[in-house]
Structures are given as C-alpha cells and as structure tokens.
Amino acid sequence: MVMRKILALILMAVSLLGAAPKKPKLVVAIVIDQFRYDYLTRYRSDYHGGFDLLLTKGARFTNARYQHFPTVTAVGHSIFLSGAMPALSGIVANTWYDREAGMQVSSVSDPETTLVGGLPGVGSSPRRMLVDTVGDELKIADDSQSRVIGISLKDRAAILPAGHMANAAYWFDSKSGKFVSSTYYFAEAPAWVKEANATRPADRYAGQTWLGHQMPQAGQLYSAIEATPYGNEIVEDFAERALAAEQLGQRGVTDLLAVSFSSNDYVGHAYGPDSPEARAISAATDELLGKFFSALDRAVGLDNVLVVLTADHGVAPVPEVNAARHMPGGRMPDGVIAKTVQDTLSKKYGKFDWITASLESVVYLNRELIAVRKLDLAEVERTAAEALRNVPHVFRVFTGAQLATGEALEDSVGRMAMNGYFPRRGADLEVLTDPYWIFGSTGTTHGLPFGYDTHVPVIFLGSGIRAGEYDNNITPNDIAPTLATILRVETPSGAVGRVLVEMFGQ
C-alpha cells in the first residue's frame, strides 16, 4: 500500500515535468560580467525593464554556483556555452604562462591572426579552448546554416561563448573606439560593421557625466566609458545592428546571439558591489535589457526567442567597506607570494631566479633551473608551499603535483581547484587567500571559491519554460547541456552539467 502510494507520487512528479520546449528561432545568450546573484534581490525594486521581465516571466534559479577555481572572466565565459570545466576546456585563467612558447598568453590571444576593423594589431581567436560550444553543435547539426555571433566589450567575452565555428565575434577596441574582429573569422568586416563603426559609437559620450564621473573629450574617452553604463549601451546598440543585418532568427533556422555586457565588471572593480555606482549600473542594465528585448520582440517575436542570462563570476566586497561593517577581510601585501617563494627557495637551494612567471596568486617555477640543479620538482613545490602556508591570511596552497595527481584535499575547495587545473597550463603553486582577503591596493576583485565570487543568476525565458523560482542547487555548467537538449543538438564535448528539466513545461 505504502509502495503504491510512493509509486503514484513518483508518476505524478514525472508527469509534471514536460517535454523539452519547442525549438526557438533564436537563442539569445546573455552574460552580465561580475553580476552577483544578490544584485537581483537587493535592487529588485529598481527593476522595471529587462530584469523585471526575466524575474516575472522566466525560470529563475536561486542557487547557481560555480564549482571551479579561479572564478574569473575567461573561465566563466568558456563554461557558459560549453558546460566544460577548465580541467577539460584548457581555459584556466584570463592569462597564463605558456611553457612551450615561453611567454605569458591570454585565453584568446592568437599570434596567427590580426585585428580586423580597427588599428593594426595581433588578433584573437578561440584556438586555446579545447572543447566546443552549443553554437558549434548547432552549426554541425544543420551544416552551418545557423548563424552564431558573439559580441562584447572584451575579446574573451565575445569569443569564448561563440565557439570555434562562429560566423563572427566582435569586441570593442579602446584604442580606436571601434568594434573589431580578427582574421580568424574573415579578412574584411561585413558592410554593416563598417557602417556601425562609421557612426563613431563611443564619441557621443565625450564630456558626459555619470554619477559625478565626467568622460574625457578625447584621449582616454574609450577606456573611460567602459566603467560606465555607456559601455553597455554601445554593445547593445551593436547587438541590435547584428540582429537586423544578419537577420538572426528570421531565416527559418535557429541562430545564436551571445552578448556579454562588461561594464558592470569595470564598475564593480573600481567602486565595489556596495557602491551607488554598482546599484546605478544594475538599474541601467535593467533598462537596457528592456530595450534589447523590445528589439528582439519586433524583429523575431519574443515567443520565438529563448533567452538565457547568467554572470561569469561575482565579486568580493571592498575590504575597507567590509571592515566598517565589522566583517572580516583585508588586502594582501603587494608581491608577497612571489617574494616568499623566491626567498624560501634561495635559502634552501641557493641564490637563483626560481620563478619563471607569477600572476598575483599563482607561481610558475623555473623548471629549467630545477632540472639543471637536479632537484625534484614536486619537492621544490612542497618546500615553497609550506612557506606560503605560513603567510598571514593564506587559506590554502595547492601544488601542481597535488592537483595533477588528485592528492588535493577532497573537500569542496579542493575539488574546485582540481576542476580548474589543466596540467599543461596550470601553475606550480596556487594560493587561495582567506575569505574577503584580496590582492590589489585599490577597489576590489574576484577569483576565489567563496559565495560572493561563485553565486550568480541563471535565468531562462522562452515558450515552454515554466516561470518561477527554482531553489535547488545547480551550476552554470548546466546551461549548455540544457540548451543542447532544447535545440535537439549534440551536447558540447566537455559539458559536465545536467539538463534543467524541472523548468520544462508550460
């Protein structure tokens, strides 16, 4: 009797779950750079535009958290439409030291390409990402009839979500004030891009003032607008132009437009998550998304569009703001990690240059020297790690050997570090600071495995998506397999997430 009741309950629960929604004409995949989940709830009363629509008509996941370290822009954007951890995708950071090339590289830097549309310069491509994306699978499934386009202020934020087979990725070049691409995609920009750039989209903000911050007349204008809502406005305007010119969602096949709004990140770094600026740009983003959704409705009909929105990471409070409210935290002394490693290894093994590269909290050791001195790399790592563990406010130190062999402590932080480790690109030492402790002497930053850096919005809006709040724990890695299921295409090659079936249904 009890068993039959349980069975009946299970069947009822299963019948509540609908089949995957019908295939949309257009997928609009939005990242708000550094947009913490709590911006949705703290500033809810400010929202009457795009966020309001998403929060009332969409499926909102209230507990989406990243499960990797470091929580930075390139990694978050690579996960968005691939579902893959850095351990598989190879996108381990914004920049890392390439041991083979003997130089520091960015996640998208590609010396085999050049910029298209702006001043001459080295271009960017998705070449360093080793897995594919939803857009790639969409194009494989229909013989490249689908169009896939990525747009952002930042190159990595435009390129990584769009994937390898994308028709184009466009980003803002703060030297020329134009949207640029690279020869990876084409030798010459389409006519509509030239027309958009001919309007000098950023110049109209010269001399304007936002919350007391006045834009220069020239000179630094293009980089100055990045840390204001103006940066998002030029991205949205460019996305609307792409929608019209490329006829996205208007050609009888499913297209994908990935748009990443970076200005929220620049504002957050400069002023912090508790500043009037962070609140103001959140409200401005709500209004801008409202405008964007209206444009989508006119061009494609919102019923035919599947919108998904997330963020690539969160951000820590400004340490001084936290201190004033009796919360923990502080700033690490400049260069303390590299200095500790260099001093410790010099004392034990002799005075040599023991570090090949160090980026804030990670260290790449001089492996040539270690080999020449006939030392054991793992032992040298251990020596340095022990010294680093004694640095005040160092929370955890991982060595390359620990992460490569799975010897890292198997708690949640250890798993996140392993998810973020890719042997050929990983550092020899990775240092995590205590919660609320950051590197850098001004503003604030992100990158740690703590809630303020990992908790982000995940919202879907579209026909066949059941509106409401979903409180179960999920990760942004679930977005890509969910999209692949809705689009009836193969799940991207490195995806580790699950399909969010709970939101399927009317």
Q: Using CB atoms within 10 A of its CB, is residue 231 exposed (0-12), middle (13-18) or buried (19+)?
A: buried
In angstroms, rounded to a whole number, what is the distance separating the alpha carbons of residues 337 and 359? Answer: 10
Nearest-approach distance from CB 60 to Zn ion, in angstroms = 21
Residues lying near Zn ion in the complex (CB under 5 A) are found at 33, 73, 265, 312
**Residue 374 CB coordination number (10 Å):** 6
C-beta closer to Zn ion: residue 33 or 155: 33
Tokens of 371: 């080999």
In angstroms, rounded to a whole number, what is the distance separating the alpha carbons of residues 325 and 341? Answer: 34
Q: Tell me, rounded to whole angstroms, the distance of Cα 130 from its chain centroid.
A: 16
C-beta closer to Zn ion: residue 33 or 478: 33
C-beta closer to Zn ion: residue 53 or 416: 416
In angstroms, rounded to a whole number, what is the distance separating the alpha carbons of residues 229 and 208? Answer: 12
Nearest-approach distance from CB 170 to Zn ion, in angstroms = 18
Q: How many CA atoms lie within 13 A of 366 on its CB side?
A: 17
In angstroms, rounded to a whole number, what is the distance separating the alpha carbons of residues 381 and 365? Answer: 8
3-state secondary structure (DSSP) of residue 79: helix
DSSP sequence for 353-364: --EEEEETTEEE
Q: Please confirm, yes or no, whether 73 is among the known catalytic residues.
A: yes
Nearest-approach distance from CB 12 to Zn ion, in angstroms = 42
Nearest-approach distance from CB 482 to Zn ion, in angstroms = 22
Catalytic one of 41, 56, 73, 485: 73
Nearest-approach distance from CB 70 to Zn ion, in angstroms = 11
Question: Which 8-state DSSP code applies to residue 94?
Answer: S
Answer whether 340's CB lies under 8 Å from 448's CB.
Answer: no
3-state secondary structure (DSSP) of residue 203: helix
Scanning the structure block, which residue is given the tokens 């297209």?
A: 255
CA angle 233, 154, 442 (to 5 degrees): 95
In angstroms, rounded to a whole number, what is the distance separating the alpha carbons of residues 336 and 105? Answer: 23
Nearest-approach distance from CB 301 to Zn ion, in angstroms = 31
C-beta closer to Zn ion: residue 73 or 182: 73
Closest CA to 152 of 181, 128, 132: 181
Nearest-approach distance from CB 34 to Zn ion, in angstroms = 5
**Cis omega (within 30 of 0) for bond into 70:** yes
Q: Using CB atoms within 10 A of its CB, is residue 207 exposed (0-12), middle (13-18) or buried (19+)?
A: exposed
In angstroms, rounded to a whole number, what is the distance separating the alpha carbons of residues 421 and 331? Answer: 25
**For 123, phi and psi rounded to 5 degrees?**
-95, -170
Nearest-approach distance from CB 405 to Zn ion, in angstroms = 30
Scanning the structure block, which residue is given the tokens 């950071």?
A: 93
Tokens of 31: 């990242």
Q: Closest-CB residue for Zn ion?
A: 73
Q: If you count DSSP H runs as helices and E runs as strands, how many of each does the chain have, helices first?
A: 20, 21
C-beta closer to Zn ion: residue 138 or 258: 258
Q: What is the largest CA-CA distance in the chain?
A: 78
The CA-atom distances, in angstroms, between 5 and each of 12, 13, 282, 311 are: 11, 12, 48, 42
Scanning the structure block, which residue is given the tokens 């059941």?
A: 466
Nearest-approach distance from CB 455 to Zn ion, in angstroms = 14
In angstroms, rounded to a whole number, what is the distance separating the alpha carbons of residues 115 and 223? Answer: 18
What residues act catalytically? 73
